[in-house]
Structure 1
Amino acid sequence: MDVDKSLRQLRERADSTLLRDVVFSVEMEQKILSKINKQKKQGALSPILYAAAFLMIGLAVWKWVPLGEEHRLSNQPERSETILPGAAWNPPVLWQPSPEQTGTYDNKPFHYFGEKPVRIITGELYEKQTQKVMWLLNGPFAEEVELVAISAEGKRVNLGKWRVADPLYDADGHFPSGIALPTPGIWKLQVLSNGKYIGHVFVEVKPGVAPANRDLVEPLIMAYIKTHEAFAWLGEDQDITIDVLGVESPNAETKRVYAWVKGLSKDPLRSSGISAPAAFDIWYDGSEYKVVGHRMPEDGNRYWSSIQEIFPENIVQMIKHRSGAEK
């Protein structure tokens, strides 16, 4: 048997399957070849045993040789996420949002993302803002399932446990949920039943403010500024503009809005105005959304320190950029 030729063939096969994340150095190959030749002298190896010997030695080296000495992992980012039972880690470079598809049930079309056994019906997702999601599951699954989100960087977010309801469309069960993910990028939404992985969907979380949230909060803030006593010094006839920088909405009932507010009185006798960042708290009282309070940075040498107390880091950076542009 041509040992060198067989070794090359086995390596090519292993590189594309079991050992695809391992890079063999010349020294490693020599060690493996030496061990195989030694075993060959002791007795002829059948092709199957030959392959098994190669793979076992390769796996042993992969498992026990310290990192950096004789092998390296391919460009797979460092991650803190523990792989869930039954699930496999996919290199984030391969992660793409699940495409939207169209199904038909009872001669009526419906749109969804993902593949059986786990699919979702939802709109666009934006960072830190709750979005309604309808989950479609095909069995088997328990009466209650758990949702887990994992980012391409390995960050894990537990999205709670949910009771599965009756069939919907062509799914064996369904349930509605609201989810908010902390950072933009590609996320894998996994479903667990009795602690075991049953399926997932990839979604893209966009940066910025969802158009629906912007349309909701801007008129609320405008009305608040025109009627709240803290802004009364601008007078009744005001020229107000609001630039929403970010929204945090951990659930459907509460929102915190970060905005840049510009206000100027149209009264020629009033020369004062305002141009500053502010945070507004908005609550749903059971019938409508209302602004229930606000915070603005302090004057003087407390200006930047108070900004850091009020706003998250990404908004602080936007404020710094905006402040520099307006100087």
Structure 2
Amino acid sequence: MRLLTVILLVLLLAGCASEEVVLDKDWKVSPLFESGSYTMIGEEGRIGFIYDDGEAVRFYPNKEQKYMWHVWGQSEEIQDALTVLATSQETGEKVTVINAISIGGPNNGADGHAPSMMSLPSAGLWRLDAYVGEKLYGHIVVEVHENV
């Protein structure tokens, strides 16, 4: 019985590991969408920030810029602070890019918004995991471009 349990556990862990590798290979920059008079990147109707892939808002390594986050949801769902953790596809490095900022009221067609300053440390694809309070609220994948 113990041997069967060990075998099942190993198979389960192997399955999880191979699934993670597949997800990493399939990372794509999140889609752009319109809200209010702005173009945003993220999950339309859930979470995003103003972004149009122009020079002024592109991500470059270690260049801090202002980004306006927007969230959609019921007021009780978005009342906690916004925290964003970023993971590099290439290296697996994890960094906190936003640490518990307050979400304000409706703005640009969204139910809540939060101005932020963000930077990412290296070029490549980064997945931004956005948390409202303790709850994972959504993911946004961005590309950090080499310095110009």
Does residue 132 in structure 1 map to residue 132 in structure 2?
Answer: no
- Given that 2:82 and 2:102 are in contact with CA atoms closer than 8 Å, whether structure 1 keeps it comes out as yes
Select the residue among 3, 7, 10 that pairs with 1:64: 10
Paired residues in the alignment total 132
In structure 2, the partner of 1:227 is none
Residue equivalent to 2:100: 161
C-alpha displacement of 1:172: 0.7
Provide TM-score, normalisation by structure 1. Answer: 0.37
CA distance in 2, matches of 1:137, 1:168: 9
The one-letter amino acid paired with 1:183 is: S
Any idea what the Cα deviations from partners look like across 1:124-147, whole Å, max 9, x if unmatched? Answer: 110111121110001222332211
Relative to structure 1, the CA distance from residue 74 to residue 193 in structure 2 (aligned partners, 3 Å threshold; closer, same or farther) is closer
Paired position in structure 1 for 2:54:
none
- Structure 2 CA distance for partners of 1:75 and 1:163, relative to 1, 3 Å: closer
Question: 3-state SS of the aligned residue for 2:122?
Answer: coil
The equivalent of 1:179 in structure 2 is 118
Distance (whole Å) between structure 2 residues aligned to residue 181 and residue 150 of structure 1: 10
Separation (CA, whole Å) in 2 of partners of 1:182 and 1:199: 21
Check if 1:102 corresponds to 2:34.
yes
Aligned residues of 2:84 and 2:129 also touching (Cα < 8 A)? yes
Q: How far off its partner does 1:76 sit?
A: 5.2
Q: 1:121 aligns with which of 50, 68, 77?
A: 50
Of 69, 78, 93, which residue of structure 2 is paired with 1:141? 78
Please give the root-mean-square deviation of Cα atoms over the aligned residues, in Å: 2.6
Higher relative contact order (CA 8 A, sep 6+): 2
TM-score normalized by the length of structure 2? 0.76
- Stretches of structure 1 lacking an aligned partner (at least 5 in a row): 1-56, 78-89, 210-327
Structure-2 change in CA distance of 1:193 and 1:101 (3 Å)? closer
1:112 and 1:74, CA in 2 relative to 1: closer, same or farther beyond 3 A?
A: same
Partner-residue secondary structure (3-state), 2:7: helix
Tell me which structure has the larger Cα radius of gyration. Answer: 1
- CA distance in 1 between counterparts of 2:61 and 2:27 reads 18
4+ residue runs over 2 A deviation = 59-62, 73-77
In 2: Cα distance, 1:157 partner to 1:169 partner: 28
Distance 2:34 2:132 in 1: 26
Superposed displacement of residue 110, structure 1: 2.1
Q: Deviations over 1:152-190 (max 9, x none)?
A: 132110122211111112211001111111111111112
Which one has a larger percent helix, Structure 1 or Structure 2? 1
Which amino acid counterpart does residue 106 of structure 2 have in structure 1?
A: P
Contact 2:31 2:42 in 1 (8 A): yes
Structure 2: gaps spanning 5 or more residues: 52-56
| C-alpha distance after superposition, 1:188-240 (max 9, x if no partner) | 1121122120112111011113xxxxxxxxxxxxxxxxxxxxxxxxxxxxxxx
Distance across 1 between alignment mates of 2:84 and 2:10: 35
